[in-house]
Structure 1
Amino acid sequence: MPTRSATWNPTVSVVIPTVGKPGLRRAVESVLAQTHPVAEVHVVLNSDRDVDIPGDPRVRLTRYVERRNGNAARMAGVRKCTGDLVAFLDDDDTWQPTKIERQVRDVTEAGLAGSSTWISSTSVRVEFDDSSEIWPRAPYDPRRSLENNLLRRHRVRRGQAFLPSSTLLFPRSLPTTVPLDEELSLHQDLTWLLQLSRNVPGLVVRQLSDALVTYDATGEGISRSISLARELDWARDHLGSSTPRDRGDYYLGSVMAYARREGGVGPMVRVLSEGLRVGRPGAPAVGYACGAIASGLLKAVASGVRRPRRRGTEVTAGAEVRQ
Structure 2
Amino acid sequence: MTGRVARAMSPRVSVVIPTVGRHTLARAVQSVLDQTYRVAEILVVADTDTPLQLPVDERIVLLRTPPGAGSGPHRQRGIEASTGSVIALLDDDDEWHPDKLRRQLDRVASYSGDQWIASSRTSVIGPGRRRRVWPRRLVGPHESVAEYLFRFTDLRFGGAMLQTSTLCFPAEIARKVRWDDDGDKPHDEPSWLIRVQAAMPELRVIQLPEVLGIYHVGGESLSRSSLDRTDEYLDWGLRHLSGESPRVRGDYLCTSPVSAAVSARSLAGVRRAILTGLRHGRPGPWALGYAVLSAVRILLLRMRSAVSAPAPSPGRKWPS
Displacement of 1:284 in angstroms is 2.1
Q: Which moved more, 1:124-133 or 1:164-173?
A: 124-133
Aligned to 1:42: 43
The code of the aligned residue for 1:257 comes to S
TM-score (norm 1): 0.85
Q: Is the 8 A contact 1:86 1:171 kept in 2?
A: yes
Q: 1:207-227: CA deviations, max 9, x gaps? A: 112221111111547x98772
Aligned to 2:248: 246
Q: 1:18-59: CA deviations, max 9, x gaps? A: 121101111100001000110111111111111011111111
Q: Is the 8 A contact 2:16 2:89 kept in 1?
A: yes
- Supply the RMSD in Å over aligned alpha carbons: 3.0
Q: Is the 8 A contact 2:142 2:205 kept in 1?
A: no
Q: Is the 8 A contact 2:140 2:205 kept in 1?
A: no
Aligned to 2:216: 216
**2 CA distance for matches of 1:116 and 1:75?**
19
The alpha-carbon distance between structure 1 residues 56 and 281, as it changes in their structure 2 partners (threshold 3 A), is: same
Matches within 5 A, 1:70-89: 70-89=71-90
Q: Which runs of 5+ in 1 are unaligned?
A: 311-322
**1 CA distance for matches of 2:308 and 2:8?**
68
Matches within 5 A, 1:142-221: 142=141, 144-183=143-182, 184-220=184-220
**2 CA distance for matches of 1:78 and 1:300?**
44
Aligned to 1:266: 268
The alpha-carbon distance between structure 1 residues 226 and 7, as it changes in their structure 2 partners (threshold 3 A), is: farther
The alpha-carbon distance between structure 1 residues 291 and 226, as it changes in their structure 2 partners (threshold 3 A), is: closer
Displacement of 1:202 in angstroms is 0.9
Displacement of 1:141 in angstroms is 3.0
SS at match of 2:254: helix
Aligned to 1:318: none
The alpha-carbon distance between structure 1 residues 125 and 226, as it changes in their structure 2 partners (threshold 3 A), is: farther
Q: 1:164-222: CA deviations, max 9, x gaps? A: 2111000010011111134254222122112112221111000112221111111547x
Aligned to 2:131: 132
SS at match of 1:280: coil
Aligned residues: 307
Aligned to 2:60: 59
Q: 1:98-139: CA deviations, max 9, x gaps? A: 00001011112xx31x42111011111111123122111222
**2 CA distance for matches of 1:67 and 1:257?**
23
Kindly indicate whether residue 238 of structure 2 is the aligned counterpart of residue 236 of structure 1: yes
TM-score (norm 2): 0.86
Q: Is the 8 A contact 1:69 1:182 kept in 2?
A: no
Q: Is the 8 A contact 1:123 1:134 kept in 2?
A: yes
Aligned to 2:315: none
Matches within 5 A, 1:279-294: 279-294=281-296
Which has the greater radius of gyration? 1
**2 CA distance for matches of 1:215 and 1:21?**
15
Q: Which moved more, 1:269-278 or 1:27-36?
A: 269-278
Displacement of 1:305 in angstroms is 9.4
Q: Is the 8 A contact 2:231 2:257 kept in 1?
A: no
Q: Which runs of 5+ in 2 are unaligned?
A: 313-319
